[in-house]
A and B are shown apart, each in its own frame.
Chain A
């Protein structure tokens, strides 16, 4: 198929960006979206132009590196996948595709479609861990049984890949789904209990500091999340937060 691409080009964080049109031809429906971008970039390099910068690495939907806002949707039109898992069979010959970076105050653009997600890192550093040193004499892994149900639920929350689609999708640029997933994972496990109150308070405080917006329960994040992280995690975080606030 032949396509027109409207792509956001921006030299660096200080320069203003703009949409630029490109054409690609002979795109196979079996290509992934990023392979289509490779074709464009090869074309640009061969004609002496600068290729479009975009983040990607694993290309199998797990590293969370790829981003892109495609035709007004984070990770594009398909559901339950990242941009790197999107295939061209989702598009038709002659389509015009608009490709922009994830937009949020807390995710400044670095170049073209690449954004800076260091705010996510700082939130994790504020409390996204259990304080246990590596010693080689930790208690036996089976000493403390954990119900299958709790373990499965914790796993579902822990499946977050930190991509930021939830933020990019939310009209308030809220990071509640991302933070809620981490808080919930630990809240569901006995190992997470000791630091539960401090963890939720510190992570939420850092989230606010980074300039993410408030959650107004639109649920858009859950719809766009490639890993199916459920809104239930936000509810659980709110309960944890309330509990922590009451304790003081």
Chain B
């Protein structure tokens, strides 16, 4: 018997959340004033949670490592946010969003959580519009939608190519209102370095003030972690430079189980790497796949010529192009889910058809879209017999309106005009579906310790659909946690303030201080980045888009060796009592070096292919699906929740069996 209890309410799936809300304990408004909540992270998840909890009357202390909540990495989300509004009348519904999300996640998520997510999705859009989020609208003044990979309806709401920015600024404005009222105390440039448990419950955190270096104690009746994903374990990813796993990993070491670390999303449309100095990778929004067609040369000699700079893509005739997604997946074409699109790109490039000097790039071509939109515009504008150039020009204007900022970003980085030459793209690490295990209440295995947003594992199974992370972050923060945490806190109305001058706080503060002192006095010979890059290379080469048992075992051993060397040889200049960016990085990389090993171990144990996790040993051997990923529901329809036991390799596996009552398990097919 597993110790995991998902606490999913009984009853039909469509009534679970409503019934649950009708029966939980509530905290009366007067008592909320006596209850403190710590929210670590103020991205979409943490920001929306902090604002809502403060509106309800709780005293909130919120923390972020940047100088403002407005700078959390949610700001970088481009494409959009899903909601089952069915404004387009194309057959969307709560059930369909639920179904698409479970299917997209390759049947590795918890049904009840996903259904609730789909249920509250429509509220998110209403709330954001009320806050003044300027979503795109059509000429009739109503909200516009676009469609994203893996689905057949248009349910994605967007604000130009800056949807994450606008949603975050909405949550930020709601936070600002509460900061002004004194209901949120905001700690910018503060990093949480550990959690404090008292009698087994989460009661506080230890932070470092990143300006003064001061180590601080903060107490509360409950602690919420919303610190984002761990994609930077690969060193190169589309995450921000500071994105880190420290809070999630530290709570794991204090008792929170870590679920499905191997489920990572490698996003198909990123700008390819150009050299060893590269510090991060840039995403080109998936929405581009609505209008762009992906191809590589069909002939190997053309590919070689392109790699050597002797041929231009525009010189390759239509018949000599291989639109491989349209060829392999006629039903979904360029809009197959991300994992499928990424592996297909890798397959072509591994076979030698890549289109830049490194051989690791494919084309994303808008020529057909210029033509299509251009003809439409010419008709609308009543232009008779427009010239070819005129049509292209009109079409380009439409594309510019839709994706102008992305095209500009591309041109600044690559120094090529994507209106004239097709874009080059290649997959890159983007999102982590795995994360801290939480139950239906979003509580971890530690009482009073919650985890929301990308940091938890909850809703996306083995693969996340586009535009669903923003939805989940805001669902957790605005509409789910504020209820579920109340149920827990109703037992704390008589507890009173949690003191910080206790042995529990002393002990954790000492652990934190000792580690900082160690780094500063280690006098090693190599920089933090040196180790981070080596870790990233092992992760990408052996725990990347395609995995097998021998390489995963090697990866575990190599990561352990890098970690041991790190503790001997790392060099951190400066002191602890000032702003010290190297010291910040050292702590984060130390945690990545442990998480990376657990990640590889999890990938090794999961001997099936599912979603973003592709095991070379588990593919379809024949039939129409030959070579495609093969899931194994009989042996692997469970969540892997890991319990910390010292070394990452010694972590103990607990299984949460997944039951599918409302959706029939099927092999995913996008053919």
Contacts and interface: CB of A to CB of B under 8 A. Distances in A.
Nearest to B67: A117
Interface in A51-73: 51, 53, 55-65
A3 interface: no
Given A63-B71, A117-B67, A138-B130, A35 B279 contact: yes
Contact of B73 (A42, A57, A81): A57
Interface string B142-165: 110000000000000001101001
B412 A151 contact: no
Contact of B143 (A56, A141, A162): A141
B166 A58 contact: no
A38 B132 contact: no
B581 A63 contact: no
Given A53-B581, A87-B412, A125-B179, A191 B131 contact: yes
A189 B275 CA distance: 45
B408 interface: yes
A216 interface: no
B393 interface: no
Contacts of B70: 64, 162
Nearest to A42: B527
A28 B172 CA distance: 38
Interface in B263-299: 274-275, 277-280, 282-283
Contact of A45 (B141, B241, B573): B573
A26 B573 CA distance: 24
Contact of A35 (B127, B138, B278, B412): B278
A221 B215 CA distance: 39
Nearest to B578: A12
Given A132-B130, A132-B131, A45 B412 contact: no
Interface string B579-617: 101100000000000000000000000000000000000
A155 B159 contact: yes
Interface string B554-585: 00000000000000000101100011011000
A65 to B, nearest CB: 5
A63 B74 CA distance: 9
Interface string A120-149: 110011101111111010111110111110
Given A45-B573, A57-B71, A58-B76, A51 B141 contact: no
A243 interface: no
What's the dominant secondary structure at chain A's contact region?
Answer: loop
A128 B173 contact: yes
A50 B573 CA distance: 6
Contacts of A39: 277
Given A138-B130, A142-B143, A147-B141, A51 B68 contact: no
A128 B176 contact: yes
Most chain B CB neighbours (cut-off 10 Å) among A59, A116, A139 = A59
A154 B134 contact: yes
A64 B70 CA distance: 9
A59 B241 contact: yes
A94 interface: no
A46 interface: yes
B201 interface: no
A187 to B, nearest CB: 10
A1 interface: no
Contacts of A142: 85, 87, 142-143
A55 to B, nearest CB: 7
B169 interface: yes
A134 B278 contact: no
B138 A148 contact: yes
Given A30-B274, A59-B241, A191-B130, A133 B55 contact: yes
Interface residues of A, number: 78
B415 interface: yes
Nearest to A135: B127
Interface string B209-252: 00100000000000000000000000000001110000000000
Nearest to B189: A110
Interface stretch (B118-126, B453-461, B629-637): B118-126
Contacts of B581: 51, 53
Nearest to B21: A136
A192 interface: yes
Contact of A125 (B165, B180, B408): B180
A59 B281 CA distance: 9
Given A46-B527, A50-B574, A140-B126, A130 B131 contact: yes
B87 A42 contact: no
Contacts of A85: 409, 412-413
A31 interface: yes
Contacts of A185: 132, 134
Nearest to A45: B527
B89 interface: no
B198 interface: no
Contacts of A64: 70-71, 75
Most chain B CB neighbours (cut-off 10 Å) among A35, A60, A110, A162 = A60
B578 A31 contact: no
A155 B85 contact: no
B123 A65 contact: no
Nearest to A146: B141
Contacts of B51: 134
Interface in B469-496: 478-479, 482
B127 A158 contact: no
Interface in B68-109: 68, 70-73, 75-76, 85, 87
Please list the 3 inter-chain residue pairs (A to B) with the smallest Cβ-Cβ separation, ordered nearest first: A145-B141, A129-B173, A154-B134
Given A50-B574, A129-B177, A141-B128, 12 more contacts: A12-B579, A45-B573, A78-B412, A81-B412, A125-B176, A125-B179, A132-B131, A133-B55, A145-B137, A148-B139, A152-B134, A159-B160
14 contacts: A60-B282, A60-B283, A61-B409, A64-B75, A87-B412, A114-B579, A124-B172, A134-B478, A138-B129, A148-B138, A148-B139, A151-B137, A158-B159, A185-B132
Interface of B: 48, 51-52, 55, 66-68, 70-73, 75-76, 85, 87, 120, 123, 125-132, 134-143, 159-160, 162, 165-166, 169, 172-174, 176-177, 179-180, 186, 188, 211, 240-242, 274-275, 277-280, 282-283, 408-409, 412-413, 415, 478-479, 482, 527, 529, 571, 573-574, 578-579, 581-582
